[in-house]
Chains A and B, each alone.
Chain A
């Protein structure tokens, strides 16, 4: 089992559907992130949570709704998406600090989303 687990790995949805992406980490990290990865673009930060508290919301459209019930779980709720939202959604976690290994993002395998 990898440190950061994402489900589902693949998701196809219509523009009127509601679905959710799930992320789970067992690394004891305090921070969890959602990134969007599109072809030929840099990873785009969407949301950051530190110990369940949202610290970043990078002007993400309201059709993306994050939820962080505890420091080990992170969800991304999706509704009325657009075709341009099709991308790889990556979850990551990190431990903030000055010790070896701190601040390194550990990524999950990603959820490949296709919006029809």
Chain B
């Protein structure tokens, strides 16, 4: 059964304290792995797509990496405005995506 697991469930960081979020997956056929950010009361906002092991993508303080079993979202020197829920999703069919339950990140000033 296709499955996506995110950890930790919640994370509190001090401003400037770097850390990583994990997304591990067990799927029959990976078409792509997606990271989204979701702010309270809003829909998820696209961050990155990764397609193959070894691929990396960067945007400001965020860097996403992919292996054959998991993906990491590295947050370097986070700021309070990085506080959000980060969702990972794996595409397993043309219109089929498996989502994780997300990591709630809180960055304290």
Nearest B-chain residue to A110, judged by Cβ = B43
Majority secondary structure of chain A interface residues (helix, strand, loop or mixed): strand
Stretch at the interface among B13-21, B53-61, B71-79, B91-99: B91-99
Task: Count CB-based A-B contacts (< 8 Å).
Answer: 57
Measured in the bound complex, the distance between the Cα atoms of B9 and A107 in whole Å is: 22
A115, CB-defined interface residue at 8 Å: no
- Ordered by A's residue number, 21 sampled pairs between the chains whose C-beta atoms are within 8 Å are A33-B95, A40-B101, A42-B4, A42-B99, A42-B100, A42-B101, A43-B99, A45-B96, A45-B97, A56-B96, A90-B44, A94-B95, A103-B49, A104-B49, A105-B34, A105-B36, A105-B46, A106-B46, A109-B41, A109-B42, A110-B41
Binding site for A on B (CB under 8 A): 4, 31-32, 34, 36, 41-46, 49, 87, 89, 91, 94-102
